[in-house]
Amino acid sequence: MSNYIVETKDLIKSFKNFKAVNGIDLKVKEGTIYGFLGPNGAGKSTTIRMLLGLIKATSGEVMVFGKNIKGKREEILRDIGALVETPSYYEHLTSYENLEITRVVLKLNKTEIDRVLALVGLSEVRNKKVKEFSLGMKQRLGIAQALMGNPKLIIIFGFKF
């Protein structure tokens, strides 16, 4: 077993004959904050999509929590909270109701919604519709959603301040 929470080995993704990701060896240690940077078109989003099992690698391996994403995707995703690029919400629902959907999907206790709303400072506006939210409030809501269920790994990515 490796002591990395995320590890990729010679990860490659080709689109037709174009290599978007060319042999990445990522190593992210448990308990750390990892900045994944690179110029536009470098392959960051493509890599993150492979980490989350949203697209298949052309070759190479993705290990999360020491388990291979191939075959263990559901088990791994249960312990990942992700906020990738522009999250979408049900605009006509409140922040509380949006989180309620996530809560039901993840089979969590109702108190979890109160916990994450308080953590991101949205308790006061829990009953406000998301369409009436400012950009910063929406971003906080995205973080709250990613924190639900106290995941072992949080991926906050492509997030513009």
Site membership for Mg ion, residue 58 (CB under 5 A): no
- Least distance between Mg ion and beta carbon 155 (Å): 13
Residue with smaller CB distance to ligand ATP, 19 or 131: 19
For residue 98, the partner it binds in ligand ATP, Mg ion, none, with Cβ less than 5 to 8 A by kind, is none
Dihedral angle over CA of 64, 66, 67, 73, nearest 10: -20
Site string for Mg ion, 7-26 (x = CB under 5 A): --------------------
Q: What does 51-99 look like in DSSP terms, one character per residue?
A: HTTSS--SEEEEEETTEEHHHHHHHHHTTEEEEESS----TTSBHHHHH
Residue with smaller CB distance to Mg ion, 34 or 90: 34
- Single residue of 36, 43, 45, 154 touching Mg ion by CB under 5 A: 45
Residues that bind ligand ATP (CB under 6 A): 15, 20, 38, 40-46
**Chain CA centroid to CA 98, Å:** 17
Q: Is 128 exposed, middle or buried (0-12, 13-18, 19+ CB in 10 A)?
A: middle
Residue with smaller CB distance to Mg ion, 108 or 156: 156
Task: Tell me the C-alpha distance between 144 and 47, whole Å.
Answer: 24
Scanning the structure block, which residue is given the tokens 């240690």? Answer: 29
Residue with smaller CB distance to ligand ATP, 45 or 58: 45
Q: Using CB under 5 A as the criterion, which residues of the chain lie in contact with Mg ion when the complex forms?
A: 44-45
